[in-house]
Amino acid sequence: MLKKQTRQASGGGAEMAVRRGRPPGDPEVKRVELLKAATSTIAEEGYANASLRKVAQRAGYTTGAVTYYFANKEELVLALVESRFDRYDAMLEGIQAETAIEALFERWLRLTTSDPEFWPVMSELLAHARHDPALAAVYKQRYGRFREVYTSIIAAGQVRGTVRDDISADLLADQLSAMADGWALLFPLEPERFTPGRVRELVDAAVALIAPVPGARR
């Protein structure tokens, strides 16, 4: 009888240990849910007001569940920025084979304007990165990689003769990135400027700007 009680007590202790450990459920699904909750919280309340408690409440979890996956707010934000750039990378992977600048612009605009929280969050975190070296390092590294791939796509277009080559590919990539970033930053403030028809016109204008210039080959 005593041994049975001991086993029961031991089993109960193990169960409590599990409860204090990893929260039940698929860890990857929970991470995604928490990142979505963090995105909405930052988009609506700003970075400064986005506490782990608010993120947990929005996701329907306890604060302890959040800190199991992310030790603190800084770690959560870094993961959020990485996940955003992962979406950029996935977009670029899908376009590299065809190296079509027009398709790149279209997919980029579709990605960044189809999600009303995308740029409000990215601009909030970019502003905060000025005072956060770890976050700034992630932005620089991931955005640098984005521009490298962008440059390779433009360079391939120059070789094929579909992109002007009197300006270097890296300069064109920098200019086009800055222009597209400007559109995206203004999109949350002036959504009426970015109707499907006008987005089509913006893409056509950007492609025209980098079209080959007769007699201007390097």
In order of their start, the domains of the chain are 1-71 (1.10.10.60), 73-218 (1.10.357.10)
- Give me the pLDDT at residue 88, please: 82
Q: What are the pLDDT digits (tens) for 129-178?
A: 999 999 999 999 998 998 898 898 899 889 988 899 999 999 999 998 88
Q: How far apart are CA 171 and CA 157, in angstroms?
A: 14
Closest-CA residue to 52 (of 67, 36, 35, 40): 67
* The residue type at 27: P
Contacts (Cβ under 8 Å, ≥6 apart) of 172: 151, 154, 163, 164, 210
Q: How far apart are CA 170 and CA 178, in angstroms?
A: 12
pLDDT of the chain, 218 residues: tens digit per residue: 434 444 444 444 433 333 345 666 678 899 999 999 999 999 999 999 999 999 999 999 999 999 999 999 999 999 999 998 898 888 887 777 666 777 777 777 777 777 778 878 888 888 889 999 999 999 999 989 988 988 988 998 899 888 999 999 999 999 988 888 888 778 778 888 888 888 888 888 988 999 997 766 55
In residues, how long is the chain? 218
The CA R_g of the chain, rounded to the nearest whole Å, is: 23
Q: How far apart are CA 215 and CA 218, in angstroms?
A: 9
